[in-house]
Amino acid sequence: MTKKTTKAAASKKSEGTTSRGGNGGATRGRGAGTSAGGNAESGSERTGKVAKTQLVEQVAEKTGLTKKQSEEAVSAMLDVVVDAIRSGQSVGLPGLGTLSVKATAARTGVRPGTSEKIQIPAGKKVAFKVASTLKGNL
């Protein structure tokens, strides 16, 4: 848990004016080199995440569709994937991998801070298996 807190503090620190060196400077340097205006694109590059709006823009560029049509297509695809996973089906995405639902067993855990033993109920989680073609290209 402290690891997540440390990462959040480090990323907030790197966006400020003071530099801590190490990761803070590298993070700021990557975003600044690719985007002149400091727009949303540089922010997502810092976090390593592609936002839905960027997906829509890229689909529009590659297909020649308008941004509105691309947004509808991306939303429809995501809805289909989410509905399939909710119903317990696996979803194969060629060249990317397979999303599937896995059952988790009930288990005993320990509450952080108090060391109290707690019972964690059985549940489900989403698993992702990377396609061998993508794994080979990384």
Average pLDDT over every residue of 35-50: 57
Residue 40 or residue 77, greater confidence: 77
Residue 112 pLDDT > 50, yes or no?
A: yes
Mean pLDDT of 77-87: 95
CA nearest to 96, candidates 49, 131, 50, 132: 131
**E-assigned strands of 66-130?**
91-93, 97-104, 107-110, 117-120, 123-130
What is the per-residue pLDDT for 46? 63
SS3 74: helix
CB 81 within 8 A of CB 99: yes
Q: How many helices (H) and strands (E) does the chain have?
A: 6, 5
The pLDDT tens digits of the residues spanning 1-32 come to 445 544 444 444 444 444 444 444 444 344 44
